[in-house]
Amino acid sequence: MGSNPGDVDVSELLTKLTLEEKVSLLAGVDWWRTPVIKRPSVFVPHIKFTDGPNGARGESYVSGIKAACFPCGTCVGATFDADLAYRVGGAVAKEAKTKSAVALLGPTMNVIRSPLGGRNYETFSEDPFMLGILGAAYVRGCQAEGIAATPKHFVANDAENRRTKLSVEVDEQTLREIYLRPFQMVMKLSDPWCFMTSYNKVNGTYVPDSRRLVQDVLREEWGFKGTVVSDWAGTYSTAPGIEAGVDIEMPGPPKWRTKDAVTKAVEAGTLSQAKVDASARRVLELAKRLGCFEYPDEPPERAVEDAARDELIKVVGANGLTVLKNEQVLPIPEGSTVAVIGQHATSIVLGGGGSARVDALHTVNVPTGFEKLGYTTKVAAGVPVFGAVPHADPAIVFETGKQELTANPVKLEWFNGSVIGENLAHEERRPQAEYMIKEKWPSYLERDCCTRITFDLVAPSTGDHILSVISTGRALCYVNDQLVFTREQEKDLRLESFYFFKRQLEKRFTYSMTAGQRYSIRLESWATEEHLLAALDWKMFQGSAIRFHEHIDIPQRLEEAANIAKSCDYAVVCVGNVNEVESEGFDRETMDLPGEQYKLIQSVISANPKSVVVNFTGAPVAMTQFVDTAPAIVQAWFPGQEAGDSVAAVLSGNVNPSGRLPLSWPKRIEDNSSFGNFPVDSHDILRYEEGLDVGYKWYDRPDAPEPLFPFGFGLSYTTFSLESASILGQDAISDKNGYITVKATVKNTGMRAGKCLVQFYVARTPSDKGYVTLAPLKRLEGVAKVHVEPSETQEAVVQLDKYAVSSYDKDNSCWLAEKGAYQVLVGLSSVDIAHRINFSLPDSFTWQGV
């Protein structure tokens, strides 16, 4: 090592490490960090990771350190804008620095195969090309700030139910062209410093144990030289995973890569010393690249306000908003009165649940967004929307016996042993009646322990109110010292039980209360029984909560919404999902909106002919109930912490909508190509029997149903015409380095300036003998988003390379570009094709790599 710690010679350092020290580098020491090695003449700093991908949350789910919440993946996908994805990657990387992390766990790049996929909101698209383009841009933006991006989850992690058990059964061509291609493009276009493996098996082998996928494809075929990290608790072996090329087991302390286990494997000859050395080298090289040797100290995490970052979030959210229907309602004229209705209008849902969840620095709701622009608004609560019962409104929760509101009214006591009230180990106050043990077991707490949560609640109304107990262990609930509910030990335990599975864990009951009366609430709970924990493969998040939702008179709420809608010039009814419906850990059971939201929509649009339905979800929901009657429909996705500003900017016309659907929107779940093969079956098999026909490729088939809205669709406040299209260098794709240039002339035929998304699809014209490989009817291979002033024209230009004319030849294990006739289809959506341009490939060629 030279005078500058950053000048460390990795090869020399590696020779100084003992086998045990090298082994220690192959696993984390805690939830987020790799180990520190420090002895005379030897120093290895730690690497700290953070979740990703909608914002850098930081170390803890419960620490209280807030972070900026960015638009979700499908919102970024709906922009079809690589420049914005690049800027988001850079901004989230800057957030990672405020959390003292050097590696970000994102972007998520899995394919939206079914509308019900729990993590659809995290990823960009159903289309492999768009996933690759946007993912690569995000990675470049992140790494330009010196923070490692970690594209995930490699590969075919497109479902959440039983994700650590299921085996994806998929043919090689489909695996290559649909599920591996996004990661292949990211390698080609961005050179990531890390990759994350997925939880699932592919054709019977866990991905992190798959030498073929990790070593042969990712490392050797594609040339990846960086670090591969497991998903958290996604390591399933000792020697096979290291031999496959997975460098780090996370989190720590390790289950599989203990020093004893790895050392014995080397001594027994089931694991080569060279593989250990290679992985240790890559960990050291990553630490050097990230500046960890120069700056080994880890300052405290910070929550940082940043006006420029917030403006970016607003811009991306507005650019992703997608207008699906507009019968001369939008934009809403300046000076209009606007009824803003629904829980999603005032309680912004920032994203889905799981590891992408961010505790936002602040939120801008929809009424505030309109009011900033000078509109007069009236607000109606609408109907309640929740997965698990929500926490009680802070305005009705008090410290026991106290009359004034306080910031942390809930008392939480921990006791060692199984007797409530004996052997007090710890006491604290919290804002909500909930706790979770996740990152590490508290030092003051024994495994045999119990807790007591106490607070007072003032009933907001009279009626049978809903309470729920969510607990991974046994629990008792008391009201005014009377036992009112017993919750038995939960038997269906999973790794992430309390964090991801609150809706599945909760047990509800009703309790009659009188408005204005005070009630003493007490929840006693016990740690999860040891014999159940012993049966799990890995540690589990444990916790308990008592939640409350007041009795709601639904007919009265619907009447109120209708009256307020009727009293205003325009009505905006905000609906959607919450993060306990769209979440990591489980898939949705239905496309339907939860609660009575369809009744709310009908009440509003019946009362006001100038009504706009704004839907906040990360994935498609059923709309057939109102698509014909709603005058205007806007898909807002989960647009981030500046949501109200983004929505108001588009609905007011300050921003001309340019969002387009990055996925096909089915009329019903039965119309999707994965229906019948989603979710996982009882044998933990998930069959990808639709093959290449994912998304619009399925709806292109002549016998397929029509989608409600096609891929690439979205409306503007102006109109565009594709006047002409042409190809330069029609036979230029003669080998793996060639390309052709395609140009389309776009004219703005309306009265407003706007952005037009031009889509370029490639189709093959079958020869008499047919092709060696099967192919979809067309594939997206280029996009260009151009700004056009009224009555003006602009050129949209893309370059098409070997990917555009290649299919995977599974029989010869290579990509094959077959000579013959092709077409470029130029249009404004997957079904709105304006021009077809012929070109030819003069000679066939094969290729591998990127």
Among 570, 669, 664, 564, residue whose Cα is nearest residue 613: 570
pLDDT value, residue 377: 98
Delimit the domains of the chain by residue range. 310-352+367-383+562-574+588-699, 394-549, 720-847
Q: How wide is the angle at C-alpha 454 spanned by C-alphas 450 and 458, nearest 5°?
A: 155
Kindly report, residue by residue over 13-27, the tens digit of the pLDDT: 999 999 999 999 999
- Max CA pair span of the chain: 86
Kindly report, residue by residue over 87-146, the tens digit of the pLDDT: 999 999 999 999 999 999 999 999 999 999 999 999 999 999 999 999 999 999 999 999
Distance between CA 378 and CA 179 in Å, rounded?
A: 47
pLDDT at 537 over 80: no
Mean pLDDT across 42-62: 90
pLDDT value, residue 538: 67
CATH tag, 394-549: 2.60.120.260
CATH of the structural domain 720-847, one choice from 2.60.40.10, 1.10.357.10, 3.40.50.300, 3.90.550.10: 2.60.40.10
Positive or negative torsion for Cα 434, 440, 442, 446 = positive
Q: How confident is the model at residue 732 (pLDDT cuts 50, 70, 90)?
A: confident
pLDDT at 1 over 50: no
pLDDT value, residue 303: 95
Distance between CA 19 and CA 21 in Å, rounded?
A: 5
Give pTM, 2 decimals: 0.96
Distance between CA 421 and CA 413 in Å, rounded?
A: 8
Three-state secondary-structure class, residue 590: coil
Angstrom CA distances, 685 to 161, 264, 501, 670, stand at 11, 34, 22, 20
pLDDT value, residue 279: 98
If you average pLDDT over every residue of the chain, what do you get? 95
Cα 251 to the center of its chain, rounded Å = 20
**Residues assigned a catalytic role:** 231
Mean pLDDT across 520-524: 98
Which CATH superfamily is 310-352+367-383+562-574+588-699 part of? Glycoside hydrolase family 3 C-terminal domain (3.40.50.1700)
